[in-house]
Structure 1
Amino acid sequence: MRLFLPSAIFFFATQLLATASVAQSDRDTLFQVSTIDALLAGVYQPLATLDEVLTHGDFGLGTFAGLDGELILVAGDIYQAAADGTVRKMPGTAATPFISLTWFDADEQLQPPPGLDYAAFKTWLEAELPSPNLTYAVRVDGQFASIHYRSVPAQEPPYRPLKEVAKEQTYFKREKIAGTLIGFWCPSYVKGLNVPGFHLHFLSDDRASAGHLLDFSLTKGKVTLDPTTGWTLELPMDKAFLRANLGTDRAEALHAVEQGKP
């Protein structure tokens, strides 16, 4: 028996399928405002509001206009880890000069060996990644014997390069703390656009401690991964971005900043 659908119903059905396919594709896309090299060059101007970017994901990281602390996005809520150690939930009207986010759908779950520090953790997890040519949203929920993180103070124009600002960063250490690591692992070919390798921020379970991850000692934890198969990069038409010198190789400066070494 052959079933024939009226043309209107057939069109509606195909549109639904197409919409569902696009929706799934969007969920597997990393959305990003500006580039990491622009941030390194000192482009800290407000390029997008949080309300605008939250239509593209519920999980990610970045910073705030004026480089005012570290940005952590988890489960749709955005937190600011300020240089004075305070953590607060931010309104949608706040703005960002750089953010990467996606819809987090846990596709793979892994159990890391206990007692790993950050260096050993990176070696272990990189060996577990299905492919070194994709970008992964990485979430680690765990108990930490100790954790080191940092934040940077808000800046005023004229903005200095991030490597100079990093000399004023504030370091924090917490012991016997439960929390979540939020961020991404990116392939080496994203150099200049995002951070090759790991870029993670920390947020404690009690939402009282947060910042850019530098090191840890993991007591126990759970790792969930969400591979992204698409990338949407929004280049701002702001004069600060348009006039920035982005032709310089900033790999050395990025490494120093990511490692917390001015």
Structure 2
Amino acid sequence: MRHSLLPTALLCLSLNLPTARAEQAPERDTLFQLSTIDALLAGVYQPLATLDAVLTQGNFGLGTFVGLDGELILLDGIVYQAGADGRVRIMPGETATPFISLTWFEADQSLPVPPNQDYAAFKDWLQAQLPSRNLTYAIQLKGQFAHVRYRSVPAQQPPYPPLKEVAKQQTFFERDTISGTLIGFWCPDYVTGLNVPGFHLHFLSDDRQSAGHLLNFQLTEGEVALDLTDRWTVEMPEDPAFLAADLDTDRSRALHQVEQAPDSQKAQK
């Protein structure tokens, strides 16, 4: 696929699934990804493709916007921006992105989640339910939450700082007694450098007024749906910023620091 902004090179990785899924169209079980998480960590926030271009690859996923302007949430084919100002906006198709992961969400398994779990307990529980820890899963959890903690980051200007530095400017939010959906992925450890190993989830409230990168929650009740994804298409952009980025450095520690934040840090209500 060639996007409207820049020429690109494609890397496709394929794995096989059991015969029961063999009749499904392969592209429906593909995780499409633009750029890599390490490029984002290195500060590659340039416009690499429009939403109109990448939404041909899926209706469910997450990412960010040019200049790291907030968190991107894709649900049911609609792209939401969770801004650092706390507002949630629907973004038009001409909006550009430097990083996005998406797929066509079709649940292979649905499970009621044990009640009154926090995020740590939920992760332990769900990982024990996975058919294999060597495949990737799209995750959608619809539920009632006693408490949700999430964050967003403000837009940056060139020359772009690395994501670890931007994270120092992040804004934290907390909501109590709220219904919403968790959207994202679980990836195996071997994707280090390409994507986020383990869980990477964003939150979107049912009233579409609250959203961001998930940090913690207390779940009252909910149901989680899993879409097992056995193929990846990773588009390596030929943008000068990506080609010049230092992607040899191990950024595992920086990623862990960016993905998590202590509950002690003050949040907006």
TM, length-normalised to structure 2: 0.89
Residue 112 of structure 1: how far off its partner (Å): 1.0
Distance in 1, Cα, partners of 2:23 & 2:34: 21
Q: Tell me the equivalent position of 1:132.
A: 133
Correspondence list, 1:5-44, <5 A: 24-44=25-45
Alignment coverage as a number of residue pairs: 242
CA contact (8 A) 1:58 1:75 kept: yes
Q: Deviations over 1:32-84 (max 9, x none)?
A: 00000000000000001000000000000000000000000000000000000
Percent identity between the aligned chains?
Answer: 71
Distance in 1, Cα, partners of 2:111 & 2:257: 29
Distance in 1, Cα, partners of 2:58 & 2:99: 14
TM, length-normalised to structure 1: 0.91
Superposed CA RMSD: 1.2
Correspondence 1:149 to 2:150 = yes
- Runs of 4+ aligned residues of structure 1 deviating over 6 Å after TM superposition are none
Distance in 2, Cα, partners of 1:62 & 1:22: 30
CA contact (8 A) 1:150 1:260 kept: no
Correspondence list, 1:104-115, <5 A: 104-115=105-116
Q: Deviations over 1:142-167 (max 9, x none)?
A: 00000000000000000000000000
Residue 260 of structure 1: how far off its partner (Å): 2.7
SS of the residue corresponding to residue 195 of structure 1 reads coil
Q: Deviations over 1:120-153 (max 9, x none)?
A: 0000000000000000000000000000000000
- For structure 1, the residue ranges without an aligned partner over 5 or more in a row are 1-20
Q: Tell me the equivalent position of 1:246.
A: 247
Q: Deviations over 1:91-113 (max 9, x none)?
A: 00001000000000011001111
SS of the residue corresponding to residue 25 of structure 2 reads helix
Q: Tell me the equivalent position of 1:196.
A: 197
SS of the residue corresponding to residue 237 of structure 2 reads coil
Q: Deviations over 1:201-225 (max 9, x none)?
A: 0000000000000000000000000
Letter in 1 for 2:254: A
- For structure 2, the residue ranges without an aligned partner over 5 or more in a row are 1-21
Q: Which has the higher helix share?
A: 1
Q: Tell me the equivalent position of 1:99.
A: 100
SS of the residue corresponding to residue 39 of structure 2 reads helix
Q: Tell me the equivalent position of 1:5.
A: none
Q: Deviations over 1:207-246 (max 9, x none)?
A: 0000000000000000000010100000000000000000
SS of the residue corresponding to residue 27 of structure 1 reads helix
Q: Tell me the equivalent position of 1:160.
A: 161
Distance in 1, Cα, partners of 2:64 & 2:30: 20
Distance in 2, Cα, partners of 1:190 & 1:110: 26
